[in-house]
Structure 1
């Protein structure tokens, strides 16, 4: 019997919001994952120079976001590795330090379409199962087109289900439609910079944590207008 898969949800989470949490829940339910670990990037190479909260705070926000959700947790491994935060290095470290466990890396459609530009991005399927979440009823064709163009490099092959492709070593790459929630971290940061309320865009526990550390937000997001 194969070990149950554990979802690894990577991202900057600047900040983590309800869209992240809901997508992770729906992917876990759709694929029967044993759990999901949020793995915030400590030093995302593709966002160097962008406004970014301190890693320790983003880690605490993720812990607040998954609190009380069965099977959900936060993995701080990215902060323990030197240099830029590359997904391929994270997955390789997980495979090395937790032998025998099966991992499923969770990404959004936007990440998939940029995967060829990531360090060893097209090789991620040799390290873990892959799950691509997208808004319900949309982008299955884009998923298929991407794989048609990159199947050889990824070692991927289609199955009878257009939402499922086979990967090396018996792994799978799956498209998972999720509920449409038009929430983004960039919009939350913009609203905060404009002095607008961000209630309802994240779990109350996350908002409470942000407000508790309000003095750290200007350094990461820029200063809001004076009251």
Structure 2
């Protein structure tokens, strides 16, 4: 006779929370790191506000979302970086055919290309941009990937020299691998990834494109990333 793992029921409940297309659409939208109103998410998911409210209640109760009320509006966001990592990892494990939904308009095609080129994954850089930065850090001995992601001593010094403060000590790991769902390779997440992304946006190295998660590198960002990490401009466009 075998004894069922006591975690099985909890894992099944968690999987059930994500295994709904409307809830999945909300989780993916919230990977931009912002707080969304229930109305915004309802329009994004293409469902009625009353239907969306029920879904949000389940996600909040399940610990995947955090909510706050301001006046008449209900705002929700991903509960923390661990939830963001879970959603991105699940998206990266989708079969390639499932990840490529039919493109109906030129606008959708352009938005998809922009997301693949560069985007934020909750609070760090992803897409080809995130991979280019991760590869450059690794090539220069600033980041190790052989035994999991870890900043080297030279890497910590590089962040300090570049004027990018690291949140140390932090409850989050300093460096963590996050599997990129478009590139199918890991990019830098964790406290270091968040600090680099925050600095890139604050310093104007990158700007957000529209209201989506997509970002693009500015001319000044190309110069800085080339000077600091030797990334050619062609890899940033």
TM-score higher than 0.5: no
TM-score of the aligned structures, taking structure 2 as reference length:
0.25
TM-score of the aligned structures, taking structure 1 as reference length:
0.26
Higher relative contact order (CA 8 A, sep 6+): 1
Higher helix share: 2
Choose 1 or 2 for highest CA Rg.
Answer: 2
